[in-house]
Amino acid sequence: MDRRPARGHNSNKTVRNMAVALISCGIFLYIFLFGDTTVVRKRTPAAKGEAMHRKHNSVHLANHTTTHKPKRTSLQEQMLNPKWFADKPLTATVPMVEMWHGQKMPVIGYGSWKVRTEAPIKQAFETGYQHIDSAVAYGNEEIIGNLIQELRIPRSELFITTKLLPGDFGSDSTRKSFFESLGRLRTEYVDLYLLHAKAPNWEESWRVLEELHTRGQARAIGVSNFDLSAIQEITLNFKYKPMVVQNYYNPWHPDDHVLQYCKENKIVYQSYSTLASDKMVHKLLAEPVLQRLAEKYHKSPAQIVLKWALQNGVVILPRSTTVEHAKEDLQLFDFQLDLSDVELIDALKAQ
């Protein structure tokens, strides 16, 4: 007996399969084009931060160094943002430094001081920066948070720093300011939270930072513009010593004593104004020794200074408003300064 199905039955089955396939394709196309159509209500930065805080606390943290599983980027997000993924390999060459508690940070970050418009920060992300340094005082947290959402950058691929204003030092005001920062940045945590300067009540604020770190809401904590005696006091008398110290550092002002103390105590040292202050940057880069080394290594004087800092074990936060300089500041790992040349730059501090 012929066990093959009748042609009519087979034809009906084929038609049904084709219909199901067409419907499935239609649903997929709709989702791809229009995505989630849920309406999201606008909230104030403080309300956003508190909502994220409640959501974050619902997740049990085994300890303060728990690593969250990264969220995978959907095919839709990748295709909507080809620029980000095309430039992403640039960041693959930026090494990471490990802090004493095990967390890692890219050794180059984008310094956003005085950057209060969207364009420079957007081009930094598109150029390949994954580490961005912000602060309440900079007035750009909301710009950064909005751009991360607009560009659909996976949070797990970013290292975000922000800082507490000295005017907000104190237990209650520190907590309030922190959650307002989370709201503006549109994130559930920051990778690094710093006291922006030494000021009265900094001790109270440091204890709050320790609390935020224990909860996993500030993955790392540290200080900025602190002198050696205050850094030593934290190291000796508090629960956590700083993971990071961020200070003014460049060839004319190398901050040697603090840098050496940080190295001895496994504290990461970050520099801002590595190319000197805005008014002095051109004068610094015109130094004859930097001009000679730039010619020797076929690099710009700025790249020579930034490489000098990296070879001294310093994390750098260059700021640029042009695409060319932003890319140039990342291209520091295809050459190495001779030790004698590092010492030549070290000697500039005498001036």
- Give per-residue burial for 240-254: e unless 16+ CB within 10 Å, then b: bbbbbbbbebbbeeb
Q: Residue 96 phi/psi, 5° resolution?
A: -115, 150
Q: What CA dihedral angle connects 179, 185, 190 and 194, to 10 degrees?
A: -70
Structure tokens at 236: 């000796």
Report H helices in the chain.
Answer: 7-34, 45-57, 75-80, 82-87, 118-127, 141-151, 171-185, 202-214, 228-237, 256-264, 281-285, 288-297, 301-311, 323-328, 339-346
| Residues 42, 54: Cα–Cα separation, whole Å | 17
Structure tokens at 138: 């900079």
If you ran DSSP here, which 8-state letter would residue 333 be given?
S
Which of 128, 119, 127 lies closest to 147, judged by CA?
119
| Residues 128, 296: Cα–Cα separation, whole Å | 27
| Residues 175, 104: Cα–Cα separation, whole Å | 25
CB neighbours of residue 181 within 10 Å: 26
Residues pairing with 250 in the sheet: 253
Does 193 qualify as catalytic in the annotation? no
Determine which one of 110, 138, 249, 272 is catalytic.
138
Structure tokens at 212: 């935020």
Crossing angle between the packed helical segments 228-237 and 256-264, to the nearest 10 degrees: 20
Residues carrying an active site annotation = 138
